[in-house]
Amino acid sequence: MIHAAGSIFPELFAEIFCLDSDVSSVDAEVITADKPVTFITQAGAAETRGLANGREGQIKILINKTYAADTVVTPTALANGTTITFNAAGDAWMGIFHAGEWHTFGALATGVGANAVVA
């Protein structure tokens, strides 16, 4: 079946160009790898999260949407570290799942001395 490009572009755009996201707002919650982007929100005190393993080649982006105190994310398997710490609103971490572990390929700092720290 042949479709005019204009009739299928919105579907292609939604599938290819827009990332699906979710929100992690519960202390000690495990963030799933189901959605490419997860926004982290906090209630007030320092919080923790887990990060489940993904599938080979999967990219995951974590964005700290709000900040009240540090949020420490402990992935099930993280290359070159054990935790990712968010210490400012807007901090972000980007990773790819390869060979059974999350590998960091980028982090964003939003303020002086602030960054998503992999340690």
- Whole-model pTM over 0.85: no
pLDDT attached to residue 95: 95
Q: What is the pLDDT of residues 91-106, one digit of tens each?
A: 999 999 999 999 999 8
With respect to residue 4, please indicate whether it lies within any of the assigned structural domains: no
With respect to residue 9, please indicate whether it lies within any of the assigned structural domains: no
CATH number at residue 91: 2.60.120
CA distance 36 to 33: 7
Q: Report the 3 state secondary structure along the chain.
A: CCCCHHHHHHHHHHHHHCCCEEEECCCCEEECCCCCEEEECCCCCCEEEEECCCCCCCEEEEEECCCCCCEEEEECCECCCCCEEECCCCCEEEEEEECCEEEEEEEECCCCCCCEEEC
With respect to residue 29, please indicate whether it lies within any of the assigned structural domains: yes
With respect to residue 12, please indicate whether it lies within any of the assigned structural domains: no
Q: What is the pLDDT of residues 23-65, one digit of tens each?
A: 899 999 999 999 999 999 988 889 999 999 999 999 999 999 8
With respect to residue 13, please indicate whether it lies within any of the assigned structural domains: no
- Domains contained in the chain, number: 1
Range of the domain at 109: 21-118
With respect to residue 2, please indicate whether it lies within any of the assigned structural domains: no
CA distance 1 to 46: 55
